[in-house]
Structure 1
Amino acid sequence: MNKLIILLLFPCVLFAQRTATVKGIITDAYNNPIEGVAISYLNEGTTTNASGFYEFRIPIRKTVTVTYSHVSFKKVVKKFTARGVKTFTFSPKLKALNEKLNEVVVKNKNKEAQGITTIKVKKVQTLLGANAGVENVLMTLPGVSNNNELSTQYNVRGGNFDENLVYVNGIEVYRPFLIRSGQQEGLSFINTHMIQNINFSAGGFQAKYGDKLSSVLDITYRKPTEFGLQVDLSMLGGSATFEDSYYNDRLSVLVGLRYRDNSLFVNSKQTEVNFRPQFTDVQSFLSYRLNDKLQLNFLGNFSLNEYNYQPLTRRTRFGTLANPLELIVFYRGQEQDQFKTLFGALSADYQVNEDIKITTTVSSFNTQEEEYFDIAAAYNLGEVDSNIGSENFGEVQFSQGIGSQINHARNDLDALINSVQVRATIKDGQNEWRAGIKLQTENIKDRINEWEVIDSLGFNVRPPHHSINDQPYQPFTGPIEPFQNVKAQNTIDITRLSGFTQFSRQTHWGDHKIWFNAGVRAHFWRVKTALQASKSHVTFSPRAQFAIKPDWESDMMFRISGGWYAQPPFYKELRGYDGTIKPEVQAQEAIHIVGANEYSFVLWDRPFKLISELYYKNLSQVNAYSVDNVRIRYRADNLAKAYAYGLDIRLNGEFVPGSDSWVSFGYLKTEENINGQGYIARPTDQRLKFGVLFQDYVPNLPDLKAYLNIVYNTGLPGGAPAYSDVYQFQSRLNDYKRADIGVSYVLADANKKSTAGFLQHFKELTIGLELFNVFDIRNANTNTWVRDAYSKRQYGIPNYMTGRVLNATVKMKL
C-alpha cells in the first residue's frame, strides 16, 4: 500500500520540483564585477560572489519579482516568468548612488529577434584603432571588412561602401562624393562621445529601414540632463564634448567639436610627402520638451576637410625572394582638395497617447567639393640583385620599365539634398504597426575635367581605342593624346517618394516564445537632366522576419529573415566611366535569406553567447564597378548579375571577468557575371575574415587596462588597369594582417574619487599609449599600374598602407 501511494505521488513530486534557473554577473558602469549584491525574491535571497556571479531557482508558471540592491549602487528590480524548465541569464549594470542618471535608456527586448547587434557605447569609446569609433568596432564583426585603416567605410557580406545605410536619430546621413582615398576622409560623421545607442544589422533588415542592399547602422544621440565636459587629446588630434540641460530639464544641449590630423600615419608610409591634412567638424543635438506630448529636436553638423598633398618620392619593393622588383618614382606638383558639408535636421515627436507616436522630420544636406591636382611622375621599374654574394646585392641591376605620366584634374561638385518625412508607430498589446512616407529632392551640379598623359621610353602611350596604336614599332607623328580624358558638366535633379508599412507581433506558441515581422517598401524616383528626357522608375521591397525562442533548458533562439531588396541609384551610380549621366539606370535588386542561431550559456561562472548566421544573396540588374582605394566607379549599365553566400560566427563573453570581448570568424564568396561573359570574383570577394576584440586588466592593479584589436582578412582582388578587360586581371592582393594594442591607466573615475589635489576636479581622467600595426606588416589595399610601351606589359605595384605608429592619449571628463 505504501509503495502504491509513493508511485501515485511521485509524478506530483517531480512536477512540484520543476524550477527555472536565473543566473548572471552583476557589474558596474565600467564592467567591474560587484561583490555582495543582495538579491531578494519570494522571501528568499542570495548574494553575488567576488566575480559578481549569482544563481538561484524560481518556480515555473509564476511571475517572480527579484530585487538587486547594494549600499553603493542604485537598486534594480526585474520580473521573471518561466513557462517551463529553462535558464534566464540576466547581467544588470548597477549605477553608483553618487552618479546622477544622465538619461533613461529604454532597450528593445526584441533586438536579438530582429537580427540587430547592439554594441556597447563604452566599448566604442575605449577600443583603439587608426580610426577609432563605431566603424572601427564594426570591422571586428564577422561579415564586415575593410583593408584601409585610414578609412571609416566598410564592406558588408560582399557589398560595397555605397550599399550601407547610416542613420543618426532616424535621419539618413551622407558622405562626400569625390573622395578617392582613405587619407582624404578625415572624420566619420558619427561623434563617438554623443552616442546613446548603437544598433547594427548585416542583412535581412526590416522594411522601416531604407533602400540599400547590405546593412544598416542605426545611431541614437543622447539627451543629457546635467552639466558635463569631456576632452580627448592625442597626437592625432582632439575632441571636446559639452552637455547640459536648462529650464528644469526641458532643454538639453549636446555639442561636439573634433579635429584630426593624419600626418602621423601618412609619414609612416613608403611615399615621402609634404602633407598637412586638417579635418574639423562641429555637431550639435538640441532637444526641447514643450509639454508631456510634444518634443522638438535639432541635429546639426558642419565639417571642413582640407587636403593638401605634395608627393616627393616613392620607393616600393615587391615580388618574390627569387624575383624581387623595385619601383622608384620622383614626383613634381601637388594636390589641393577641399570637402565642405553642412547638415541640419529639425524633428517633432508627438506622443498622442501611450500607444501612438508620430514623428515629423525636415532635413537638408549640402556638400561643396573641390578636387584640384597636377602631379608629374617619372618612374623606374627594375629587377633587384638577389644574389647574396654579389657586390651589388639589393641594388637595381636591370630596368624593366622607364616612363613618366602627368595627372591633371579640376573637378567641382555641389550637391543639395532636401527631405521631409513622417513616421507613425501604433502599439496594441503585443502587436505593433509602423508606417512612414518620405519625399526627397536632390540637385547635383558636377564639373569633371580630368586627364592623364603617359610616356614610356620616349613614346606617348595612345588610348587603347585609337585606330593607330602600334608604338614603338611605328612612330606616330600626330598631337599628344591623353591616355584617359574625362570631361563633362552635369546638372541633375532627382525626385524621390518612398514609403513603408510593417507589422510586428510577439506572442507564444505553447510554451515557446515567438516574434515575427512583415512589411513592404515602395520607392518611386524620377531623374531629370538638362540635356536628356526625364526617366521615372518604381520598386517594391517586401521583407519578413521570424524568430522563436524554444522553452528549452538551453537558452537558444532561432531566426530566419529575408526579402526582396532594391537599391535605387544615387548620383554616383548614374554616372558612367566617361562622366555622362545615364537616367535609364535601374535599381539593383537582391533576394536575401538569412538563418541564425543564438546560444547563451555560462562558462567559468561568466556569461557567453555564440551567434551563428548563414546567408545567401541573389543579385540581379547589378551595376558593376571598380574600386581604387575608396573610390568606386560604376559601369552604369545594369548588365551584370551576381551572388554572395557565407557563414558568420561570433563568440561573445567575459573571457576576463568584468571585461566583454569577442572572437569572430567569417567565410564569404561573391562572384558576378558581366554581360554573360562568365562568373568572376567581385571586387569585394574577401573569402576569410578573423577578428579578435579583447580587453583585460591587471588583477592586482585593476586601473591598468589593456586593449587588443586583431584583424585578419584574406586578399581582395587587385583590380585592373584603365580600359582593360577585368576578366584578364584576376590576381589578388596579399592577405591583410593587423594588430593594434593599447594600455591605459585610470587616474579618476566613478569608483576612484579624489578629494584633494588636481584630481578632485575630474569625474574621469585616463592616460594611455596606443601602438598601431604592432608587427609593422605591409598591407596593401590597391595596385598602381605601371605601363611599359616596349614590352606591352602592365605591372601591378602594391600600394602599401601605414606602418607601425605610436600614439599617446589623454581622456578627461569634468
Structure 2
Amino acid sequence: MISLILISVSSSAQNAILKGVILNENNTPVQGANITYKDTGTQSDKNGVYQLTIPTNQEVEITISHISLKNMQFTVNLEENQEYELNPILKNDIEQISEVIISGRERKVVEGITTLDPETIRTTPSANAGVEGLLKSLPGVSSNNELSTQYSVRGGNYDENLVYVNEIEIYRPFLIRSGQQEGLSFVNTDLVRNVDFSAGGFQAKYGDKLSSVLDITYKRPTRLGATADFSLLGGSVSAGGISKNKKMAAIVGARYRDNSLLVDAKKAETNFQPRFADIQTYLSYNFSNKFELGFLGNVGINTYDYEPLREQVNFGTLQTVQALTVLYEGQEKDKYETYFGALKGTYRATDNLTLKLIASAYHTQEQEYYDILAAYALGTVNTDIGSENLGEVEFSEGIGSQLTHARNDLDALILNLEHKGTYIADKHQLDWGVKYTSEDIRDRLQEYEIIDSAGFSIRPPLFDFVNNQPYSPFATPIVPFTNTRAINNVKIDRISGYAQYSIRSTIKESEIWANIGVRAHNWNISGSTVNSADSQIVFSPRAQVAIKPDWESDMIFRVSGGLYHQPPFYRELRDSLGVVRPNVKAQQSIHVVLGNDYSFSMWKRPFKLTTEIYYKKLTDVNPYTIENVRIRYRARNNAEAYAQGIDLRLNGEFVPGTESWVSVGYLKTEENIDNRGYISRPTDQRLKIGVLFQDYVPTIPSLKMYLNMVYQTGVPGGSPSYANPYNFQTRLRDYRRADLGLSYVLVDKDKRLREGHFLNVFRELNLGFEIYNIFNNQNAITNTYVRDAASRRQFSIPNYLTPRVFNVRLGMKF
C-alpha cells in the first residue's frame, strides 16, 4: 500500500494570498478599488478589505487603482501558502511606483533563516505534533525523545534556544524532568501564521542565547472562522474574527492533551492520569493607520499523576538475554501552572520610522511530589523456543531496591519592559532596542534517593570509601545515595540592548547585503539566601554578509558570526546540590557560519539546496548532565568546548504541488573540564538524517500521505548521579523513528458535495490515520544502572521510549 501511495503525479502550483485594507489619506476605507495583476484581479468591499490569490516564488506586479485616486504599483514575491497583509494608503496627487517592496524569501535567505509552512506543521505526523516536532527533521536540530518538545541545536542544550511569539520572548517551566510530563508546547499551531528558524549566526536584534532562534508570528484574522482537531491524544479548537470596521481582530485557541495512549503502549504497567490543557489568545486593535495595540495571553494548567506498578526490561544479546524486573509502590503527583500576558504597541511614526513598546509578565507555579519504592531483580530470561516458560525470568542474579523521594516547589515571576525601533531610508536600515527584565524566583528543593543492593546500602560515589568488614567494625553512618536540600530566594535584574545597521547594495552586477550590530547585557543577582555579588556585563558584536553573484545559476553565499554570550538564568546558577552560585559568568561562544543557497529546477519543478558549515569555540562553559530532559549544571564555568559540523537540506517539489525535503547533518562537539582532556558533550550527535515526504494517490487525489523519518547516531548515555563523566562515555543506541500519516479529504474548497449536503457547512473536513514508530524501533533516552552483588558488575539498562502506536485524527475548518 505504501508503494502505491508514493507514486508521483502532477498537480497545480501552490498559491499565496495578498490581503489587507485599502485606505485613503483621511484614513477612510476605499470601496471599489481594483487590485490586479495581469488579467486577474479583485475589488475592495465597502470596508476597504481585499484578498487576492497570486502565484508564488516569482515576482508579480500588482496595481491598485481607483477612479478618484492615483494608482499604486509594486512588485511582490511570496512563498507557497504564505498570507501577506498589506494595508496601502492611496494618495490624491502623486503616482506611486515602488520596486520590490515585499519579498517572502529574500530577506530570510540572506539572514540564513529557514521558513516552515504552518500547514505542513499541522499535518505532519508526530507523537508530539507541533512546531518543535517538525524542527527535529531539520539538519543540526536533534532530540532523542519524541514525548518532549525540547531540542538541541548544533551541540547546544535545551536552555540555549530563543523562542519568540510576535517578538515577545517565551519561557518554559523549570522543574520538568521527563518528556512525558511536558504535555503542551507554548506555541499553538492553530494560531500560527509564520514560522522562522535560525540555527546559528543570527543578528544582534535577537537575544542572548548560544544556539538558535525560533521566531513565530500569530495570525491576524481577516474573516470569521473556526477550526477543530480531535484525536486519541486529545484535541484543539480555535476561532478568530474581525470587527465590521476592521479595527479589532481576535483569535483564540484551546487545547487538551492526554499522553496515556503513548505511555500505556510501553511495557510498564501503570496507572497514568495526565491532564495537559491551555487556552491562548492574540488580540489586536488598530486605533489608526499609525498605531496598533496587541495582546498575547496564555493560561496553562498541567497535572501529572503517575502510579507505576510493574515493569520488565529485556536487554543483552541473542545468546544471553537478561531482564530487569521491577515491582513498584508509591506514586508521583506533579503540577505546573503557567500564566503569561503581554502587550505590544506599534507606532508607525512615518513611512520610514516604526517604534514599538512591549511589556510582558510570566508567572509559573510548579510542584513535584513523589515517593516511589522500586524492588528489582536482575535475572536471565528463558530463550528455549520449545519451553512453556519462554520469555520468563529463570533465576535472579541480583536483587535490590530503590526509594526516591521529592518535595520540590518553585514559584517564579518574570517581568519585561522593552522598546524597539526601526528606521528605513532607501537601502539602509537601522534597528535598535533596550530591555529591562526582573526575575523573582522562590525555590524549595528537597529530594533524596536510597539504593539497596543485595542487602547492602549503596553509598554516593563522591569520595573513596573502604568497608573493611569483618576485620574492622563498620562505624560510618549510613547515608542516602543522593540527598539534596535547598531553599533559594533569588532576584535577578537585567538591562540589555542592541543596535544594528543593515545595507543593501551592488558590486558591479552582483547584489550584496550586509549587517553589523552589537548587543550588551548587564545583570545583578541578589536575594536573602544568596551571597552578594558584583553586577556583570558582556558585549556581543555580530555581523552578516551575503552576496548574490551575477551568474546564470541562482546562488547566494553567506558568512555570519560573532561573539555570543548567554548570561546565566536561574537553572544555570543552581549547582547539582541546589546551591545558587551568583558569581557564575556568562558562557561565551565565537560563531562562524558559512552558507550557500542554490535554487534550481529539476523535473521542471523548483528545488533548493542549502549548505552551511559552522564552527563554535566556547569558553567559560558551565558543564552539565542530562537526565531525560532535566539539565543539572555544575555552576562553575570550569570547562571549554567546541562544536563543528556541516548541515545540508534539499527541499522542493519531489511530488508536484507538495513540499518535501531531505536533510543531513554532521556534528562533533567536545568539552574539556578542568583541563583533563576533551570528551564528548552530552549532545554529541555525530550523524543526523531527516526526511519529510508528502504525497497523494494518483487515482484518489483526496487521499494524502505524510512521512516523517529521523535517523540519529547515539549520544553519550549519561552516568549515575554525581559520577565522573570521564568514566561514562558509552553511547546510547542509534535513534531511528518513522511516523506515517494518512489523510482523506472529505470536503475542501476544491471538493464540494451536492447542494444542501450537511457536510458543506465545513470549509474543510478530513479524516486521518497515523502510525507512530511504524517499524517499532526500540529507542532509549537514558540508562538505569543496576549492580549485581554476585559478579560485582554494574549493568546499564536502557530506558526505552514509545513503541508502535496507532492514532486517529479528525480535522475541520469552518
TM-score (norm 1): 0.88
Q: Deviations over 1:504-560 (max 9, x none)?
A: 111111100111111000000001131411331111100001111111111111111
2:512 and 2:453 map into 1 onto residues whose CA distance is 68
Per mean C-alpha deviation after superposition, the further-off stretch among 458-467 and 286-295 is: 458-467
8 Å contact 1:27–1:94 — kept in the other structure? no
Which position in structure 2 is the counterpart of 1:52? Answer: none
8 Å contact 1:451–1:484 — kept in the other structure? yes
8 Å contact 2:501–2:515 — kept in the other structure? yes
Q: Deviations over 1:461-499 (max 9, x none)?
A: 223347755287677466542111000000000000000
SS in 2 for 1:110: helix
1:421 is aligned to 2:392: no
8 Å contact 2:440–2:490 — kept in the other structure? yes
- CA change 1:729–1:466 in 2 (3 A) is closer
SS in 1 for 2:109: coil
- CA change 1:808–1:102 in 2 (3 A) is farther
1:402 is aligned to 2:402: no
1:535 and 1:788 map into 2 onto residues whose CA distance is 50
1:178 is aligned to 2:175: yes
Per mean C-alpha deviation after superposition, the further-off stretch among 198-207 and 780-789 is: 780-789
Gaps of 5+ in 1: 1-23, 32-64, 81-87
Q: Deviations over 1:19-78 (max 9, x none)?
A: xxxxx99624599xxxxxxxxxxxxxxxxxxxxxxxxxxxxxxxxx97374999745694
Identity, % of aligned positions: 53
1:686 and 1:656 map into 2 onto residues whose CA distance is 31
Alignment of structure 1 residues 660-809 onto 2, 5 Å: 660-754=659-753, 755-788=755-788, 791-809=791-809
Q: 2:453 aligns with which of 444, 456, 472?
A: 456
8 Å contact 2:378–2:788 — kept in the other structure? no
Which position in structure 1 is the counterpart of 2:516? Answer: 518
- CA change 1:74–1:370 in 2 (3 A) is closer
Q: 1:120 aligns with which of 117, 121, 130?
A: 117
1:500 is aligned to 2:471: no
8 Å contact 1:139–1:154 — kept in the other structure? yes
How far is the alpha carbon of 1:749 from its aligned partner?
1.2
2:146 and 2:39 map into 1 onto residues whose CA distance is 43
2:592 and 2:274 map into 1 onto residues whose CA distance is 43
1:550 and 1:152 map into 2 onto residues whose CA distance is 39
1:219 and 1:510 map into 2 onto residues whose CA distance is 37
1:467 and 1:114 map into 2 onto residues whose CA distance is 53
Which position in structure 2 is the counterpart of 1:529? Answer: 527
2:41 and 2:723 map into 1 onto residues whose CA distance is 69
Which position in structure 2 is the counterpart of 1:27? Answer: 13
SS in 1 for 2:685: coil
Alignment of structure 1 residues 46-445 onto 2, 5 Å: 67=38, 69=40, 74=53, 78=59, 107=104, 109-386=106-383, 394-445=391-442
8 Å contact 1:472–1:790 — kept in the other structure? no
- CA change 1:89–1:713 in 2 (3 A) is farther
How far is the alpha carbon of 1:392 from its aligned partner?
6.2
Which position in structure 1 is the counterpart of 2:655? Answer: 656
Which position in structure 2 is the counterpart of 1:14? Answer: none
8 Å contact 2:15–2:54 — kept in the other structure? no
SS in 1 for 2:120: helix
How far is the alpha carbon of 1:235 from its aligned partner?
0.5
Per mean C-alpha deviation after superposition, the further-off stretch among 755-764 and 495-504 is: 755-764
Which position in structure 2 is the counterpart of 1:644? Answer: 643
2:786 and 2:667 map into 1 onto residues whose CA distance is 31
2:303 and 2:86 map into 1 onto residues whose CA distance is 36
8 Å contact 1:235–1:809 — kept in the other structure? yes
How far is the alpha carbon of 1:94 from its aligned partner?
8.5
1:580 is aligned to 2:579: yes
How far is the alpha carbon of 1:395 from its aligned partner?
4.0
1:238 and 1:613 map into 2 onto residues whose CA distance is 38
- CA change 1:745–1:580 in 2 (3 A) is same
Aligned-residue CA RMSD in angstroms? 2.4
1:464 partner letter: P
8 Å contact 2:77–2:105 — kept in the other structure? no
How far is the alpha carbon of 1:315 from its aligned partner?
0.4
SS in 1 for 2:663: strand
SS in 2 for 1:111: helix
2:802 and 2:125 map into 1 onto residues whose CA distance is 15
1:107 and 1:193 map into 2 onto residues whose CA distance is 21
Per mean C-alpha deviation after superposition, the further-off stretch among 570-579 and 478-487 is: 478-487
Per mean C-alpha deviation after superposition, the further-off stretch among 787-796 and 657-666 is: 787-796
8 Å contact 1:457–1:789 — kept in the other structure? yes
Give the length in aligned residue pairs.
Answer: 747
8 Å contact 2:77–2:103 — kept in the other structure? no
8 Å contact 2:240–2:252 — kept in the other structure? yes
2:793 partner letter: R
How far is the alpha carbon of 1:383 from its aligned partner?
2.8
8 Å contact 1:25–1:91 — kept in the other structure? no
1:564 is aligned to 2:563: yes
Per mean C-alpha deviation after superposition, the further-off stretch among 285-294 and 382-391 is: 382-391
- CA change 1:74–1:637 in 2 (3 A) is closer
- CA change 1:422–1:685 in 2 (3 A) is same
1:681 and 1:101 map into 2 onto residues whose CA distance is 45
How far is the alpha carbon of 1:752 from its aligned partner?
1.7
How far is the alpha carbon of 1:184 from its aligned partner?
0.2
1:652 and 1:184 map into 2 onto residues whose CA distance is 34
- CA change 1:471–1:788 in 2 (3 A) is farther
Alignment of structure 1 residues 465-476 onto 2, 5 Å: 465=462, 469-470=466-467, 476=474
1:548 and 1:675 map into 2 onto residues whose CA distance is 42
2:106 and 2:780 map into 1 onto residues whose CA distance is 42
Which position in structure 2 is the counterpart of 1:546? Answer: 545
Per mean C-alpha deviation after superposition, the further-off stretch among 245-254 and 688-697 is: 245-254
- CA change 1:703–1:574 in 2 (3 A) is same
2:413 partner letter: L
TM-score (norm 2): 0.88
- CA change 1:535–1:271 in 2 (3 A) is farther
8 Å contact 2:717–2:732 — kept in the other structure? yes
How far is the alpha carbon of 1:722 from its aligned partner?
1.2
1:67 partner letter: K
8 Å contact 1:26–1:92 — kept in the other structure? no
SS in 2 for 1:539: strand
1:523 and 1:280 map into 2 onto residues whose CA distance is 35
- CA change 1:638–1:74 in 2 (3 A) is closer
Gaps of 5+ in 2: 1-9, 18-35, 43-50, 62-74, 88-101
SS in 2 for 1:702: coil
1:470 and 1:533 map into 2 onto residues whose CA distance is 42
SS in 2 for 1:647: strand
How far is the alpha carbon of 1:128 from its aligned partner?
1.1
1:360 partner letter: L
1:140 and 1:472 map into 2 onto residues whose CA distance is 56
Which position in structure 2 is the counterpart of 1:490? Answer: 488
How far is the alpha carbon of 1:454 from its aligned partner?
1.1
1:577 and 1:762 map into 2 onto residues whose CA distance is 54
2:346 partner letter: D
1:315 and 1:475 map into 2 onto residues whose CA distance is 38
